[in-house]
Chain A
């Protein structure tokens, strides 16, 4: 039930009700029981007197801008051209509005609960972090949607001029909806980390403004040329090409994958990740903050691998496999940072819950604990690279190209194993969860750049080719190695040997650190247990 809306609750349907009717009752129950946080946000927002003013001012400015662009364009162009101009102007502005305002709006959400001293009361209601995060998400999204609805009449102007269809305008709003989802979930993820709303807004904007500009230029203007190459109906150059592609591209496998699946994944996976980060940050330190992120990983990493493998196999091109290796490296680097802050082991609270709920080995494996996290990371790294390199070995016909890709992938995988081991080791040795991330970043930087500096110094005394071997420990050397092997030069063997030694060293160090971390963590946990037993046992003498 909802006291806020005054709707009485609908009892759950008896088991005899099945299929569609069951779904109908379920939906009705959902409506009767809206998210309480969302309802409260709406009520508070409705009281905010500046809301209508801000809305009116935004709409007015947007209308003025679009009209002046239209006026300038109309001086010596036919109406259809003006329509296209207006379309791109309006939706570019709307994109900026959503991409900047959405995160800022969401950023206050959780930080304000913390700074306002309402967080603990909310936490103790038992509503749960996921429901609170959903409520905050819906609240911010509603607000952004309100702006979009207010702007809709202005957005409809372009198709009155022609050059774009009504459907394309509607589709552009749908795409904006996707952007809104991403920006709001991102804002919430930042917000969940901070206890000062002002700081949260600042950090969000510092991230979202450059990202959105890069996305606008890269995914908007940049990709429009690629899209134009694939579907000639899509114009090359203007940034708002995606909505027009939906109505102009020929339907087929490429349409389905590139226009439906990829954009969906590009919105869904990050939004899901941001949501899980939000939920994890909201939970108490002794709660389980890991399992949900681990489940995301279990979906995202294989998805990423499958995408890379599919692209490589479909294009039968070494370049695509190299891109795949790079993409996987980026993915696992990110995951390494994500997992470096794990707790040493599940808390007593989590263990107690597992025992109570008779959790199986699988559920426990996905639970908190840096060793579990890094083990999963190792397994995923091995699996992903085996799949990608296996596919490369089977698809690439030219032996030198194939060997080059295999060398690159093998080296990359070995280096990632080292990073996973290093993350576990630093976490095992540090008290806080922030230090390992900084150390990981430092180690990464040193490993990438250090050998090149050494090489540059050595290059003063040695010939360039031999000096290059000194750079072998740097993961960037793997790219050089691939080039040397693919070109089949005279130094290929020497380079391959140096690369193999470096990769093997990374592997050995990685596993060594992993074992050290494991021992160290056992030691620390035993010490903690001893302290607790000692304190609890030393009663009566106090």
Chain B
């Protein structure tokens, strides 16, 4: 399998500790190998995480996520290769790295016989944080105020997880490294964790999180890395990977040329409709097919689905949409719902909405399907995953 590495020039090792002109990336992993006995658990893993990103590290059980993370957290000296956090080498300069990162191990434990506040106060002291107000600030940020006098032993799993995240924030780390932060959490707790992560990103933190469940926190990630049997299959910003994959696919399938209007599938096929106000979306527009004129199927990756809900019967608006430019199919559902398969970007969606509204359709909701990551995942892993 060819590793598709979208990180910039993985050959140049990050310079340790001495930033030149450009600031070093928040996390830089270079040629990471790790062996347990004769078993290669990590094989030449390289990627970068830029500042301010939420990086999702995805892979099945036993792929080597925790091993990579432990190398990042200075807890494991890799057999070869290096991890730099903000320019500091995690293996060689652990003290500096420990100041920068907040690490939450998977299945981390807690001290049970103290209260939530005492737990945080203990870690504040252990981190030698000079201000007394830090614990209050973190409690407020993580919304633990109501629980602050509860014994840790009496907390639920989700609450404990939140407490763990709170602990990692005490020393105001630049980079958060969270190993499976949402495992064992119910949907509600998972949403809470997700919202917290988004809030932390607003505060300028770089967040690295691992998961073996694809959809777990995928909608918060700005970048992903997919690890499979110790090898990095793909890494980079989600949009960039999607584009790369499309380009790759184009190169791989030259026999079935993609028609001109689908050549750049991520671009909206509708020209700037704003100019005349005339709906481009007229039924008389040339019909688009799910297969190209040459008979080649349109790749799954370029096909998108928009979930609509309208007042009344959705069957009635099917003819309005069918045959529109970029429309690949319309599927009416019960209760006024409707799925629109299309090719295009956000602008295209806006155009569809405007067309429907100006046509007098009672539009109740529009929901683009977020399945980009899933598509990427399925494409790059080729079912090798269990």
Contact bitstring B75-114, A, C-beta under 8 A = 1, else 0? 1010111000000010111110011010111011111011
CA A35 – CA B121 in complex, angstroms? 13
User: Cβ of B111: which chain A residues have Cβ within 8 Å of it?
Assistant: 40, 44, 116, 118
Whether B125 and A120, one on each chain, are in contact in the complex, defined by CB atoms closer than 8 angstroms, is: no
Given A36-B122, A124-B103, A286-B91; A3-B108 close (CB under 8 Å)? no
By beta carbon, the residue of chain B nearest A119 is B109
Binds B, one of A330-338, A407-415, A417-425, A530-538: A530-538
Contact size range, B: 35 or more
Q: With an 8 A cutoff between CB atoms, is A16 at the interface?
A: no
Question: Which residues of A have CB within 8 Å of B101?
Answer: 124
- Decide yes or no whether B167 CB sits under 8 A from chain A: yes
Give the contact stretch, choosing among A4-12, A22-30, A512-520.
Answer: A4-12
Q: Which residue of B lies closest to A118 (CB)?
A: B109
- Asked if A4 and B122 sit within 8 Å, CB to CB, the answer is yes
At the interface, yes or no: B135 with Cβ under 8 Å from chain A? yes
Instruction: Check: A352 CB closer than 8 A to any chain B CB.
Output: yes
- Residues of chain B within 8 A (CB-CB) of A117 are 105, 107-109
Out of B81, B105, B113, which one reaches A535, CB within 8 Å? B81
How far is A542 from B231 in the complex, measured between Cα atoms in Å?
A: 8
Q: Which of A36, A123, A539 sits near B125, CB closer than 8 Å?
A: A36
Q: Are A542 and B44 in contact (CB under 8 A)?
A: yes
Flag if B91 contacts A349 (CB, 8 Å): yes
Tell whether B129 is near chain A: CB-to-CB under 8 Å.
yes
| Chain A residues in 8 Å Cβ range of B89 | 352
Given contacts A40-B122, A535-B33, contact A126 B167 (CB under 8 A): no
A125 touches B109 (CB 8 A): no
Contact A120 B113 (CB under 8 A): no
Q: Which residues of chain A come closer than 8 Å to B105, judged between CB atoms?
A: 117, 120-121
B75:A348 contact, CB within 8 angstroms: no
Q: Are A539 and B10 CB-contacts (below 8 A) given A118-B109, A531-B80? A: yes
Residue in chain B with minimal CB distance to A132 = B126
Please, which residues of chain A bring their CB within 8 A of the CB of B107? 117
Are B127 and A125 neighbours in the complex by a CB distance under 8 Å? yes
Q: Of B3, B11, B123, B151, which is within 8 A of A125 by CB?
A: B123
Q: Is B118 an interface residue (CB 8 A)?
A: yes
Contact call B77/A347, Cβ cutoff below 8 A: yes
Q: Nearest residue in B to A40 (C-beta to C-beta)?
A: B122
A48 within 8 A of B: yes
In the complex, are the beta carbons of B126 and A127 less than 8 A apart? yes
Question: Does A540 touch B at the CB level, under 8 Å?
Answer: yes
Q: Which residues of B contact A363 (CB under 8 A)?
A: none
Instruction: Tell me if B98 and A39 are in contact (CB < 8 A).
Output: no
Residue of A126, A348, A349 near B98 (CB, 8 A) is: A126
- Nearest B residue to A113 by beta-carbon distance? B109
In the complex, whether B340 has a CB less than 8 A from a CB of chain A is no
B-contact bits for A498-542, CB 8 A (1 contact / 0 none):
000000000000000000000000000000000110011011101
Q: Given A1, A39, A123, A126, which contacts B75 in the complex, CB threshold below 8 Å?
A: A123
Alpha-carbon distance between A356 and B31 when the two chains are bound, in angstroms: 24
B73 in the interface (beta carbon within 8 A): yes
- In the bound complex, how far is the Cα of B124 from the Cα of A116, in angstroms? 20
Which residues of B sit under 8 angstroms from A124, Cβ to Cβ? 73-75, 98, 101, 103
What residues of A have a CB within 8 angstroms of the CB of B75 in the complex?
A: 120, 123-124, 284
Residue of B nearest to A122 (CB): B126
Q: Is B339 located at the chain interface by the 8 A CB criterion?
A: no
Task: Check if B68 is an interface residue, CB within 8 A of chain A.
Answer: no
Chain B residues, Cβ within 8 Å of A6: 132
A285 CB-CB contact with B under 8 Å: yes
Q: Chain B residue with minimal CB distance to A542?
A: B44
- B109-153 Cβ-contact flags toward A at 8 Å (1 or 0): 111011000101111111111111011000000000000000100
Which of A4, A286, A540 meets B121, CB within 8 Å? A4
Residues of chain A within 8 A of B94, CB atoms compared:
349
Which residue of B44, B93, B110, B121 contacts A352 across the interface (Cβ within 8 Å)? Answer: B93
Q: In whole angstroms, what is the CA distance A538 to B94 when docked?
A: 26
- Partner among A40, A120, A125, A349 whose Cβ is within 8 Å of the Cβ of B77: A349
A232 interfacial contact with B, CB 8 Å:
no
Residues of A within 8 A of B73 (CB): 120, 124
Contacting pair A43 B92 (CB below 8 A): no
CA distance A2 to B128 in the complex (A): 8
Say yes or no for A371: interface residue by CB 8 A criterion. Answer: no
Cβ of A47 under 8 Å from chain B: yes
CB distance from B39 to the nearest CB of A (A): 14
> Which 5 A-B residue pairings sit nearest by Cβ, starting from the closest?
A117-B109, A36-B125, A535-B80, A352-B92, A125-B126
In addition to A40-B118, A127-B127, 18 A-B residue pairs with Cβ atoms within 8 Å of each other are A3-B122, A43-B114, A117-B105, A120-B73, A121-B103, A121-B105, A122-B126, A126-B95, A126-B126, A127-B126, A284-B75, A285-B77, A286-B77, A348-B91, A531-B79, A535-B81, A539-B46, A542-B44
Interchain residue pairs with CB less than 8 A apart (21): A1-B129, A3-B134, A3-B135, A4-B121, A4-B125, A6-B132, A39-B125, A40-B114, A44-B113, A48-B113, A116-B111, A117-B109, A122-B126, A126-B99, A127-B128, A352-B93, A353-B92, A531-B79, A539-B11, A542-B3, A542-B231
Residues of A with Cβ closer than 8 Å to B?
1-4, 6, 8-9, 36-37, 39-40, 43-44, 47-48, 116-118, 120-127, 284-286, 347-349, 352-353, 356, 531-532, 535-536, 538-540, 542
